[in-house]
Amino acid sequence: MRYLLISDIHANLAAFESVLEDAKGLYDKVWCLGDMVGYGPDPNECVELLLTLDHLCIAGNHDWAVLGKLDIDDFNPDARFASLWTREQLTDKVRDYLDNLPIALVEEKLYTLVHGSPRHPIWEYILSPTIAQPNFKQFNTPYCFVGHTHSPVIFQEALQANAMCEPLAADFNNGPMRLGERRLIINPGSVGQPRDGDARAAYGILDIDARSFEYRRTSYPVSVTQEKMKAYDFPARLWNRLAFGW
């Protein structure tokens, strides 16, 4: 069984479609790590497309924010604009879908799925080894998939107890890496709003039988998404950033 690992699509339909095209034939099912909506112009379309796939999805902070389940006062002005705009767009069907997303899942006995971190699934950002380290104690499986930071990275647990975990840089389009004995926190990166300086959509393929994970990256027509955002009078910062991946 092979899984398509996607996260932080953020209502960017062009990016989502390009990932599905690029990954065609490489996966059987989909695991989505949350933030389907917020920032981008196609919230309903992205959820409807996900619903056509054999998938599991967990809730992200933006999914909660548009439902009013999370206070958006902590959001920056651009994120708040997008969240309030999205609220007005959502169909009842999509709102219900987002409202029923779980916040954490354990699948195939080996894989924990959360949006932010195992310790605080909705909002904690695992941006550094010092934040990853205590989180290794917060899940019971060998591997945990997270999103939220929009930056692809793997944190590998140290061999000695209490030694600091190590970050491993994502190696894109370079074939699968075997998941070894050491526990890992894996972030596949963001489909719809990458923030690692690479504008291409990021995702991963997990092969359960081979116990391997492959980082992949594919370009998509950024201008298609930008033009929709301009037409809806989104703040320039929100559509500008997509061209640069920040």
Nearer to Zn ion, 35 or 196 (CB): 35
Segment near Zn ion (CB under 5 A), from 7-15, 72-80, 210-218, 237-245? 7-15
Return the closest-CA partner of residue 60 out of 130, 143, 116, 21.
116
Nearer to Zn ion, 8 or 157 (CB): 8
Task: Check if the beta carbon of residue 4 is closer than 8 Å to that of residue 30.
Answer: yes
Q: Does 157 bind Zn ion (CB under 5 A)?
A: no
Minimum gap (Å) between residue 38 Cβ and Zn ion: 7
Q: How many CB atoms lie within 10 A of CB 124?
A: 20
Please list every residue from 8 through 27 that binds Zn ion, using CB under 5 A: 8
Nearer to Zn ion, 57 or 179 (CB): 57
Please list every residue from 34 through 73 that binds Zn ion, using CB under 5 A: 35
Minimum gap (Å) between residue 24 Cβ and Zn ion: 25
Residues 80-119, mask of contacts with Zn ion (x by CB under 5 A)? ----------------------------------------
Question: Which chain residues interact with Zn ion by CB under 5 A?
Answer: 8, 35
